[in-house]
Structure 1
């Protein structure tokens, strides 16, 4: 089966492509760097020719509210049109756990809008909603740092390894479309501030972590249910300690 991974040169795509290949699929990574632009449509028709399945792992180049909304809705519509023309039978997208419960985040609103475009496209689909990746904890710490202090929320956090995200996608590729959502989270739930401190300790970073219930998450108000999975979610196998030791 030919699987085209759009955004396949990014974090999850680089992990997914070898898994698909090992499972006997013809896995093709495409991105703007390979001449495929999901916003202008350049290269899309050629990239999707003969594809059975498309996995959308694209991410917006800008996080401004208007820009990110335009990116995800435009890219989803362009992909859907190209997939219809190519006869694609299964569309995958990677979005975010509980995106619909954090409406004051422009990024989350954009991911929900992307999901709505996919659901209305008429193409059979599966949407994997994952929690935040272990690989992003350093970025979270950086964004929360002021004058050497990392002021980060103490709300519950359930990050997952990028390897586990790729593994679930690879597993689902061979299954029928869900025409719905499946959630994925990590095996541990702790305050975000605890995860950040553990990460900084391992890399010998001396910044002080200040747990702050009011800190929010990139400007959005959150609580203990915002960044954690609900009943029925899939749980990744990789613990944070295991990931830190790699």
Structure 2
């Protein structure tokens, strides 16, 4: 069975590693595959270190956008070790559904539904890097009866605090923030400190829909590899 490596950004916040570790445990249980985590920054082990011990692995990027890391960094490292790189979760309906669940849980804890929602993504300055967040906004808007707008924690505008303030200025009183973020870190901490938010959704790593996406990506990559082997054998 091929190794499965989750490629994550990494964070200096200990809770981030714990959240991704729980996701890896779930994927390992669902697939029976050897699962490891490789980090792009802040944490060890690094992605190159992990792949050096697992040549030919399937790499699943756990990035909610297709910015520089997803399109340049990860493929470059994977090529060095003959690893297959799958698509990330960016733009998938499962992400929006997980976002919806997290938002609803936060609203229940706050005492009721919001009357406007800000979807806060990490942000990217790379062309197309914010497409995953924008798609999640459009998908979430079809599930909610209230206005849904976008904000970014870095690199793009508007920042979440500004988006929340704008909605308040328009007359909305219960403004919630849906965190389009994978794991706890400095961005989730900043969202929790925005004044006058009604509720803030938890990050998505622990949601079963994320684990399901990883399993599907891994299964697809293994099936593709088998098909290529069959063609070569013929």
Where on the TM-score scale, by shorter chain, does this alignment land: which range?
A: 0.3 to 0.5
- The structure richer in strand per residue is 1
- The structure richer in helix per residue is 2
